[in-house]
């Protein structure tokens, strides 16, 4: 059964549990700020992927790879409630339909704005594109730094986790997968 008390009440209790006075000047409004922040950082639960993608599907005779790389990605580790951040690279091979280019970063945000582990985030993005766009293949690679590894635990400040999910032609065809991996390694050439 869900606790009906506002998040801010729990934050006050956490601050007190840390030996802090939640009524002191610097912390007085922290519970409300944290509640607002957490609601934003988990707002992806309220987004319907079908609506997001289906409202931007267009019939186009294009069957070459569509790649959007270096999509800034911010999420929250579900194990420690600490951020992880980096870049997502997404590609798909259209099969009669393309999706509006801005919808891919929005889809990344939808799944990133949930309590996550990077591995699941990667798969969820790929599977949503596969399900709603129905391309010949989908590829997703995410490179991220995790504050739960940087600030605590092993304290490795320069470690980057890389995860991938290859579906359809990207899984079955080495040449297609290698083309994608080559494209995401290339510099922007002054773009962006």
Of 73, 77, 89, 124, the active-site residue reads: 77
Of 28, 72, 78, 119, the active-site residue reads: 78
- Cβ pair 13, 83 in contact under 8 A: no
Of 35, 80, 134, 173, the active-site residue reads: 80
49 noted as active-site residue: no
Q: Residue 22: which pLDDT band, with cuts at 50, 70 and 90?
A: very high
- Cβ pair 163, 155 in contact under 8 A: no
Q: What is the mean pLDDT of residues 77-100?
A: 96
Same domain, 16 and 62: no
Residue 153 CA, distance from chain mean position: 23
Tell me the pLDDT tens digit for each residue of 119-139: 999 999 999 999 999 999 999
Same domain, 90 and 181: yes
Same domain, 23 and 99: no
Same domain, 57 and 121: yes
148 noted as active-site residue: yes
Of residues 159 and 155, which shows the higher confidence score?
159
Give SS3 for 155: coil
Same domain, 119 and 36: no
Could you count the other beta carbons within 10 Å of the beta carbon of residue 87? 16
The two three-digit tokens of residue 35, written as one number: 């509640």
Same domain, 54 and 106: yes
Please state, in angstroms and rounded to a whole number, the distance separating the CA atoms of residues 180 and 35. 40
Residue with tokens 């607002």: 36
Is the per-residue pLDDT at 192 higher than 60?
no
- Please state the pTM of the whole predicted model: 0.92
The two three-digit tokens of residue 191, written as one number: 């773009």
Same domain, 93 and 143: yes
Note whether residue 121 is domain-resident.
yes
CATH number at residue 164: 3.30.1130.10
Same domain, 35 and 126: no
Note whether residue 53 is domain-resident.
yes
- Cβ pair 29, 146 in contact under 8 A: no
Residue with tokens 């969820």: 124
Please state, in angstroms and rounded to a whole number, the distance separating the CA atoms of residues 12 and 29. 10
Note whether residue 153 is domain-resident.
yes
Note whether residue 1 is domain-resident.
no
What pLDDT score was predicted for residue 1?
Answer: 60
CA 135, 170, 163, 140 torsion-angle sign: negative
78 noted as active-site residue: yes
Note whether residue 2 is domain-resident.
no
Note whether residue 155 is domain-resident.
yes
Could you count the other beta carbons within 10 Å of the beta carbon of residue 62? 13
What pLDDT score was predicted for residue 2?
Answer: 66
Same domain, 12 and 88: no
Of 130, 143, 148, 179, the active-site residue reads: 148
Please state, in angstroms and rounded to a whole number, the distance separating the CA atoms of residues 174 and 164. 14
Note whether residue 192 is domain-resident.
no
The DSSP code for 57 is: E
Same domain, 62 and 111: yes
Same domain, 86 and 20: no
Number of domains composing the chain: 2
Same domain, 59 and 128: yes
188 noted as active-site residue: no
Range of the domain at 27: 7-41
Note whether residue 190 is domain-resident.
no
Give SS3 for 149: helix
Transcribe 102-163 into DSSP letters. THHHHHHHHHHSSEE-HHHHHHHHHHHHHHHH--SEEEEEEEEEEHHHHTSTT--TT--EEE
What pLDDT score was predicted for residue 57?
Answer: 93
């Amino acid at each position: 059964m869900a606790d009906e008390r506002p998040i801010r009440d729990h934050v006050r209790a956490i601050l007190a549990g840390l030996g802090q006075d939640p009524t002191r000047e610097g912390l007085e409004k922290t519970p409300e700020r944290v509640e607002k922040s957490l609601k934003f950082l988990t707002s992806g639960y309220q987004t319907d992927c079908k609506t997001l993608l289906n409202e931007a599907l267009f019939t186009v005779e294009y069957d070459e790879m569509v790649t959007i790389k270096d999509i800034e990605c911010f999420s929250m580790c579900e194990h420690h409630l600490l951020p992880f951040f980096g870049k997502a690279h997404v590609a798909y091979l259209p099969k009669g339909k393309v999706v509006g280019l801005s919808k891919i970063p929005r889809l990344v945000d939808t799944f990133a704005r949930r309590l996550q582990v990077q591995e699941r985030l990667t798969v969820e993005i790929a599977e949503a594109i596969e399900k709603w766009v129905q391309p010949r293949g989908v590829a997703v690679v995410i490179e991220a730094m995790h504050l739960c590894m940087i600030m605590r635990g092993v304290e490795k400040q320069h470690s980057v986790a890389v995860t991938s999910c290859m579906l359809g032609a990207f899984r079955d065809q080495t040449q297609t997968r290698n083309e994608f991996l080559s494209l995401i390694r290339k510099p922007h050439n002054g773009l962006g």
